[in-house]
Amino acid sequence: LRRERISLQQARSRAKCQLDAMHHSHDKLASILRIKEEQIALYEKLLP
pLDDT per residue over 1-48, tens digit each?
Answer: 788 888 999 999 999 999 999 999 999 999 999 999 999 999 999 998
| Distance of alpha carbon 23 from alpha carbon 16, whole angstroms | 10
Instruction: Determine the pLDDT at residue 42.
Output: 96
| Distance of alpha carbon 22 from alpha carbon 14, whole angstroms | 12
Instruction: Determine the pLDDT at residue 48.
Output: 84
In angstroms, how far apart are the furthest CA atoms of the chain? 71
Instruction: Determine the pLDDT at residue 25.
Output: 95
